[in-house]
Amino acid sequence: MSLNSEIGMEGQLVENVLKQLQSEFSERIFSTNPSNRASAGISEQTTIEEERESIKKEFRKAISVSNQMQRLYFVVRSLMMSILGALITFVIVWQLGTINVIGDFVLGISTYAVCLLLSRLFDERIVNISRKIILYLEGHTKLRNFIVRTF
């Protein structure tokens, strides 16, 4: 997936969230009975401002959740790349017995490149695994918050 398509997807996500919030705002405004507001002594401007603040809070919450999901995805992907890199390094050192500084340098760069390539090839599966982990972490808020804050 290219950077432009990712930006397009993010823009589309934000646009959809804004449309949903705007329609909810309209529903709230039109569902409020003007006679009830007048009898309660609440001005229409105050009600509109309260609704805007409520929608702003909901939007901030949606952005916060999206941010947490992206951080957790990054943590999961990094963890998978680290484990794969460690396995590749272990197998090579096990087969060769020992490596020198130049061999270690070449091994480190090549292992990183291979892990990066494999993580991009299996990106869809990594996203699915990340979603499953995120769904699991929804019930464990302390663990989720620890992961998001620490990593």
pLDDT above 60 (res 5): no
- For residue 67, the model assigns a pLDDT of 79
The whole-angstrom separation of Cα 49 and Cα 55 is 10
pLDDT one-digit tens code per residue, 51-98: 778 877 887 887 877 777 788 788 888 888 899 889 988 888 888 887
- DSSP-based three-state secondary structure for 32: coil
Q: Are the beta carbons of 144 and 138 closer than 8 angstroms?
A: yes
Going from N- to C-terminal start, the domains of the chain cover 3-150
Q: Are the beta carbons of 41 and 98 closer than 8 angstroms?
A: no
Contacts of 130 (CB under 8 A, 6+ apart): 69, 72, 73, 76, 77
Specify the pTM: 0.56
pLDDT one-digit tens code per residue, 89-111: 888 888 888 778 888 888 889 88
Cβ–Cβ contacts within 10 Å for residue 119, how many? 16
Predicted confidence band of residue 49 (pLDDT cuts 50, 70, 90): confident
* Average pLDDT score, the chain: 75
